[in-house]
Amino acid sequence: MAFWPWGMPTERQSSLINVFCEEIKNAHHENWTLRFPSDIRLNTWLDKIRKGELPPRPGQLVQKVGACERTVSRIFIRETGMSYQNWRQQWRLLKAMEMLCEGLSLSQVAQQLEFVSDSAFIVFFRQYTGTTPTRYLRHSIAEHQDVPHVRVVQQLAL
């Protein structure tokens, strides 16, 4: 738009702007953020997660935080907009991206994130991103000349 000729008819500009807006509206959105719950009952556990500990399976989390499964479920849905299991999967995906960007091998990432095999990790990664870890990194590097940074957004208590 910045390079359109000055004499371009207004109707044509309007049509092109409409197409541009429609393309943006329909573009695939990748959400690479993760909100952390702020409930005080989870603080000790969340501190460990922030320091690199893996989020446990749902049954193990209940034991770690000393709250019943329904309470933990309500906290995650209310404060993050997703179930604990979905939150945990999103965390694993973002952590995998981070580790791959740092140069760890696919096998190292799969092992550290406790996947049963490399192929299970690849299936997981493809399910959430639509591509394999190797292709994702290759595309990111070719497209942007650098690997995208992963950011985790912590929800602040109001």
Q: DSSP characters for 80-104?
A: HSS-HHHHHHHHHHHHHHHHHHTT-
- Give pLDDT, residue 102: 85
Q: Quick check: 154 and 102 in contact, CB under 8 A?
A: no
Question: Measured between alpha carbons, how far is 87 from 83 in angstroms, rounded to an integer?
Answer: 6
Which residues, at least 6 apart from 111, have a Cβ–Cβ distance to it below 8 Å? none
Question: Measured between alpha carbons, how far is 23 from 110 in angstroms, rounded to an integer?
Answer: 36
pLDDT above 90 (res 82): yes
Whether the predicted model's global pTM rises above the 0.85 cut: no
- Give pLDDT, residue 153: 42
Percent of the chain at pLDDT above 90? 41
**Each residue of 109-121: pLDDT tens digit?**
999 999 999 999 9
Query: Looking at domain 40-143, which of 1.10.10.60, 3.30.110.30, 2.60.40.1840, 3.10.20.740 is its CATH number?
Result: 1.10.10.60
- Give pLDDT, residue 63: 87
Q: Which range has the worst mean pLDDT, 21-25, 48-52, 139-143?
A: 139-143
- Give pLDDT, residue 7: 77
- Give pLDDT, residue 154: 41
Burial of 59 (0-12, 13-18, 19+ CB in 10 A): exposed
Question: Measured between alpha carbons, how far is 75 from 38 in angstroms, rounded to an integer?
Answer: 9
- Give pLDDT, residue 1: 65
Which of residues 138 and 30 earns the better pLDDT score? Answer: 138
* Angle of helix 133-144 versus helix 118-129 axis, rounded to 10: 50
The domain ranges of the chain are 40-143
Q: Tell me which range, 26-30, 61-65, 122-126, is most confidently predicted by mean pLDDT.
A: 122-126
